[in-house]
Amino acid sequence: MAVDLLLGLQWGDEGKGKIVDVLTSKYDIVARFQGGPNAGHTLEFDGIKHVLRTIPSGIFHKNTINLIGNGVVIDPVVFVKELEGLDKFKLDYRKNLFISRKAHIILPTHRLLDAASETSKGKAKIGSTLKGIGPTYMDKTGRNGIRIGDLEFENWQKKYRALADKHEALIGFYNVDIQYNLEEMEKEFFEAVEVLKTMRFIDSEDYLYQAQKEGKSILAEGAQGSLLDVDFGTYPFVTSSNTTAAGACTGLGIPPNKIKEVYGIFKAYTTRVGSGPFPTELFDKAGEQMAKLGNEFGAVTGRPRRCGWLDLVALKYATQVNGVTQLMMIKGDVLSGFKTLKVCIAYKYKGETIRHLPFNIEPENVSPIYKELPGWKEDLTKLKDANNLPKELINYIDFLEKELEIPIKLVSVGPDRTQTIHR
Ligand code: IMP
């Protein structure tokens, strides 16, 4: 049985959580493969909105196994709060939520190091969510990290102390003023670890291998977006993991030849939180309108998201790096009411017109070249049938499909599970 993959094609916040939730009934297993509580996957159904951070978005379907893969980094404190948030839904998550023994743990001092590093950068800061993601992946690749499986052995606290002490010395090195009470943070951390230890830890790569042999269907759920990939994103303004398709192989232990469909999710326009280049960013009324109608505030940090027109150069790049087989367009409803819509089809770069993403897309190097398309006025949020979409929206979709050479199979017209149109 094949594995399907779902990932974001822009700078995150594409609405992956909602789509995983919509697709979950088709899958036996939903597995997160990278990132950590920097993610905020929002799901809405029965009038309730829920934000997931580390837990896969299939958790509300009781017959689906949800797996936190080896490529994910877990903060026990955030994780336990997430579990508490699920309690009101009476979910039996001890039965259908598994955690890879090889996933790394975010320590309180990783969060402090994140803050120290960002503070020391001043204006050049990445705009990190400050959840300790970068420092935890640094310890993973530096071969110093603590993994979920370590919690099953007695000497893990010794390892913890040595690493936390080293981190404290490093925080001193940054020579910045950050206030913290490590004793309190550690108390909360160790309490959370005890709850975490009651969950089911597994050798997830073997579990997934056996599941595939038994013909089970698996959906790999990505976090953040392709342009935040540590290799292929807008470095250094990226996250610290591989958010692109290859990340699902390393983050779950799935061989590349087992991946079948690659669902690429994108917004009908573009948003970005945090710092870094964004060629189609708007600083005018149109950008304000997108932010307002799209409720563009970070699900994790509450920070306002920067908004701009759809960037087809960046989107095409993301589809290429990921090998996307099907596209899904989110938030088409937010663009209702614009007289004309702009889509960036090329960049002006060093006096030339280019159609690929160059090494450096800082505004001084790159300016977008737009095509204008007619907008639509209709409210889309109650539509159920692809045949009833306004003709201008169909024209917008046709144009994107032609440029990207990939079909758009799903159009989302609101945050609720039911506001989803299949094509
Ligand atoms: P970090 O991963 O928290 O270190 O953040 C690095 C960059 O990625 C910052 O610009 C964040 O705003 C951005 N980022 C991290 N996670 C997400 C996400 O889930 N959605 C959107 N942006 C994110």
Sequence-separated contacts (24+) of 286-290 with Cβ below 8 Å: 286/338, 289/337, 289/338, 290/334, 290/335
Summarize the confidence of residues 96-114 as an average pLDDT.
Answer: 98
Q: Give the model's confidence band at 47: pLDDT under 50 very low, under 70 low, under 90 confident, else very high.
A: confident
Other C-beta atoms closer than 10 Å to the C-beta of 48 total 11
Q: Which of 41, 50, 104, 110 is catalytic?
A: 41
pLDDT at 46 over 90: no
C-beta 13 within 6 A of ligand 1: yes
Cα(164)–Cα(196) distance, rounded to whole angstroms? 19
Pocket test for ligand 1, best of 7, 110, 125, 239 (most atoms within 8 A of CB): 239
Pocket test for ligand 1, best of 11, 119, 129, 270 (most atoms within 8 A of CB): 129
pLDDT at 1 over 80: no
Taken in order 361, 363, 367, 373, the sign of the CA dihedral is: positive
Distance 137 CA to ligand 1 centre (A): 14
Cα(106)–Cα(89) distance, rounded to whole angstroms? 27
C-beta 57 within 6 A of ligand 1: no
Alpha helices in 309-405 (DSSP H): 312-322, 391-404
Residue-wise pLDDT tens digits, 115-170: 999 999 999 999 999 999 999 999 999 999 999 999 999 899 999 999 999 999 99
Q: Give the model's confidence band at 300: pLDDT under 50 very low, under 70 low, under 90 confident, else very high.
A: confident
Distance 224 CA to ligand 1 centre (A): 7
C-beta 134 within 6 A of ligand 1: yes
Assigned token pair, 278: 């964004």
Mean pLDDT for all residues in the chain: 95
Cα(275)–Cα(294) distance, rounded to whole angstroms? 20
pLDDT at 408 over 90: yes
C-beta 280 within 6 A of ligand 1: no
Q: Strand 366-374 and strand 310-311: pairing?
A: unpaired
What's the pLDDT at 110?
Answer: 98
Q: Which residue is listed with tokens 């509580």?
A: 37
C-beta 366 within 6 A of ligand 1: no
Distance 217 CA to ligand 1 centre (A): 29
Question: pTM to 2 decimals?
Answer: 0.96
C-beta 39 within 6 A of ligand 1: yes
pLDDT at 183 over 90: yes
What's the pLDDT at 126?
Answer: 94
| Residue 309 CB partners (closer than 8 Å, separation 6+) | 269, 270, 280, 282, 286, 341, 342, 343, 344, 368, 370
User: How many residues belong to the chain?
Assistant: 423
What's the pLDDT at 356?
Answer: 95
What's the pLDDT at 262?
Answer: 98
Catalytic-residue membership of 61: no
Q: Which of 13, 21, 139, 311 is catalytic?
A: 13
Cα(238)–Cα(129) distance, rounded to whole angstroms? 11
Calculate what percentage of the chain has a pLDDT beyond 90: 89
Three-state SS for 302? coil
Q: Give the model's confidence band at 45: pLDDT under 50 very low, under 70 low, under 90 confident, else very high.
A: confident
Among residues 82, 2, 5, 1, which one has the least CA distance to residue 251? 5
**DSSP sequence for 178-245:** ----HHHHHHHHHHHHHHHTTSEEE-HHHHHHHHHHTT--EEEE--S-GGG-TTTSSTTSS-SS--ST
C-beta 106 within 6 A of ligand 1: no
Residue-wise pLDDT tens digits, 314-329: 999 999 999 999 999 9
Summarize the confidence of residues 406-417 as an average pLDDT.
Answer: 94
Q: Strand 104-105 and strand 366-374: pairing?
A: unpaired
Q: Give the model's confidence band at 355: pLDDT under 50 very low, under 70 low, under 90 confident, else very high.
A: very high
Nearest residue (CA) to ligand 1, atom 20: 12
Nearest residue (CA) to ligand 1, atom 16: 38
C-beta 373 within 6 A of ligand 1: no
3-state helix, strand, coil in the chain (%, to 5): 35, 25, 40
Cα–chain-centroid distance for residue 163? 28
Q: Is 75 left (phi over 0), alpha (psi -120 to 50) or beta?
A: beta
Which ligand 1 atom is nearest residue 13's CA?
20
Distance 39 CA to ligand 1 centre (A): 7
Nearest residue (CA) to ligand 1, atom 4: 128
Q: Give the model's confidence band at 41: pLDDT under 50 very low, under 70 low, under 90 confident, else very high.
A: confident
Cα(358)–Cα(337) distance, rounded to whole angstroms? 33
Nearest residue (CA) to ligand 1, atom 19: 39
